[in-house]
């Protein structure tokens, strides 16, 4: 059986991980696993149910009621929450902040960990998140820590929301990003940190295409077959 090749991309919110990982996957013919979308789907469930996200015990017990799956239709990733396609419902700021909050809970992380590892064992994957290289796929063939300044990340998010016709404040978005960074980096369980063997890549002054090509080059340096 041919060994699968795994690429892990970690980094803070808004660094462009999902967009870049998706493009790398397309170029290499890999499966893209958006772990953030999986956490967002769980967060959507709790928000819909009106849970107090600070109630770790209740959130943890409710994980047994939740099934999250990733499927591909016509090459596009679809995120399913209890068999409902929620791909178009999980990209709001509210859901993103809720996902950051619940991702600190061991029960939530355990519920998704095995699915993520199974995908990596059975397919060539590129996976992005907060703890992929340090916890989920510690043996990944290529690890990247992708980041950008808070200002750059805020401007990107502002433009995304503006294009969707949403009224937003650049200053408020940057404050949210700084708060989320602090929360992700200082949580007790699987904090956001750069794996010792990960390549640090600051994309503040790079285009998406430049980052994509850089990651593909790094993967090939680390054993990805041409």
Inter-residue contact 156 to 16 (CB < 8 Å): yes
Strands (E), the chain: 6-10, 31-34, 68-73, 76-81, 84-85, 125-129, 142-147, 199-202
- Enumerate the known binding-site residues: 11-19
- Enumerate the known binding-site residues for ATP: 11-19
Cβ burial of 202 (10 Å; 0-12, 13-18, 19+) is: middle
pLDDT (tens digit, 0 to 9) for every residue of the chain, 226 residues total?
568 999 999 999 889 998 999 999 999 999 898 888 999 999 999 999 999 999 999 999 999 999 888 887 877 889 999 999 999 999 998 999 999 899 889 999 898 898 789 889 988 999 998 889 999 999 999 999 999 999 999 998 899 888 888 888 999 999 999 999 998 899 887 789 999 999 999 999 999 999 999 999 999 999 997 5
Expressed in angstroms, the distance from the first to the final Cα of the chain is 19
Inter-residue contact 152 to 164 (CB < 8 Å): no
Helices 208-221 and 17-28 pack at an angle, to 10 degrees, of 60
């Amino acid at each position: 059986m041919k060994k699968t090749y795994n690429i892990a991309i970690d980094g803070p919110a808004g660094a462009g991980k999902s967009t870049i990982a998706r493009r790398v996957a397309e170029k290499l013919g890999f499966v893209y696993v958006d772990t953030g979308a999986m956490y967002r789907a769980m967060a959507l469930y709790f928000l819909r149910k009106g849970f107090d996200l600070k109630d770790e015990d209740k959130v943890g017990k409710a994980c047994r009621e939740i099934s999250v799956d990733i499927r591909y239709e016509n090459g596009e990733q679809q995120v399913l929450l209890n068999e409902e396609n929620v791909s178009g419902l999980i990209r709001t700021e509210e859901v993103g902040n809720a996902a950051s909050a619940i991702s600190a809970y061991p029960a939530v992380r355990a519920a998704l960990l095995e699915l993520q590892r199974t995908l990596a064992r059975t397919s060539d994957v590129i996976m992005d998140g907060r703890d992929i290289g340090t916890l989920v796929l510690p043996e990944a063939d290529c690890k990247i820590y992708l980041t950008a300044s808070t200002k750059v990340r805020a401007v990107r998010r502002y433009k995304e929301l503006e294009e969707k016709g949403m009224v937003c404040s650049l200053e408020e978005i940057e404050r949210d990003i700084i708060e989320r960074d602090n929360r992700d980096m200082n949580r007790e369980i699987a904090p956001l940190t750069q794996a010792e063997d990960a390549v640090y890549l600051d994309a503040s002054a790079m285009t998406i295409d430049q980052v994509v090509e850089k990651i593909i080059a790094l993967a090939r340096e680390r054993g990805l077959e041409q």
